Amino acid sequence: MAVQFILGRSGTGKTRYCIGGVVEALQEAGEEPLILLVPEQATYQAERAILTDERIAGYSRLHVLSFDRLQFLLLGKSTARPVLSNIGRQMIVQRILRDNKNTLKLLGASAAWPGLARQIALTIAELHQYAKTPGDVERLLSELAKDERNSLAALKFADIGLIFEEYLKFIEGRFLDSDAQLIHACRAVSAANLAHGAKLWVDGFAGFTTAELAVLAELLKVVKEAKIALCLDPSSIDLANPEIDGLDPVSLFSPTERTYAGLFEIVKKSRLELAEPLVLSEPMR
């Protein structure tokens, strides 16, 4: 499973390189799946770019996917449970706040305040996106308990942990939370025919949530080869040893440099073959 990074500043042709690679792969005789992973808002543009190539009349083994679409293909076909909207999540949180207002240590007095349910719902979504569980909140509380100066924060996180746990109990077997589904998708990657032996291209991302990184790491373990395009200045980072602690936090490309360093570490820890990065330096005309 070889992984290669495609690196360059904006306008150097990273997306064109990925689209060209997809087109060439479609022309080759073979049955291996092809996956192009892009942000949700870029899926239509990517599909159009592929189909406007006069050499491609259509395709059946290529999947142009966002992370949401990927998790649906891995999990969604096997379930008929309704997917929660943001409003639905807020309504559930509001009910939990109401039913537990006498149990909550800090937020109970504010349970009926406008906006609190929305803010807690956003917090739950973020916990899912960063692959956190009620157990992680409990471990945080244990750390906070070691210093009395953290007493207020401990009360707040105790309430958040209780609401988070009650929320998961409420939706279990009844609803699907799209943010939580990415965590479950990680376990499904290894068993799915979709990715085994596939060629993977990843393009258009400045960064990934913890859950997205976990899914991508699992994909890299089962695909035949992967090419990951990132927008950064290759001359401003040590491509062979990109340590996050050594990166300039105020650099123009700081987000993607940190993404590169994180992915580089994942590839190394997973003991995957890492090809020499392809550096694109000349602007495309």
- Straight-line distance from the first to the last Cα atom of the chain, in angstroms, rounded to the nearest whole number: 33
The tens digit of pLDDT for each residue in 159-171 reads: 999 999 999 999 9
What are the phi and psi torsion angles at 176 (to 5°)?
Answer: -110, 135
CA distance to 21, 62, 183, per residue, from 33 (Å): 14, 6, 23
H or E element in which residue 153 lies: helix 151-171
Q: Which residues contact 15 (CB under 8 A, 6 or more apart)?
A: 49, 203, 204, 229
Q: Is the pTM of this model over 0.85?
A: no
The tens digit of pLDDT for each residue in 243-256 reads: 888 888 888 899 99
Eight-state DSSP code of residue 196: T
The tens digit of pLDDT for each residue in 204-227 reads: 999 998 888 989 999 999 999 999
Of residues 263 and 176, more confidence is placed in 263
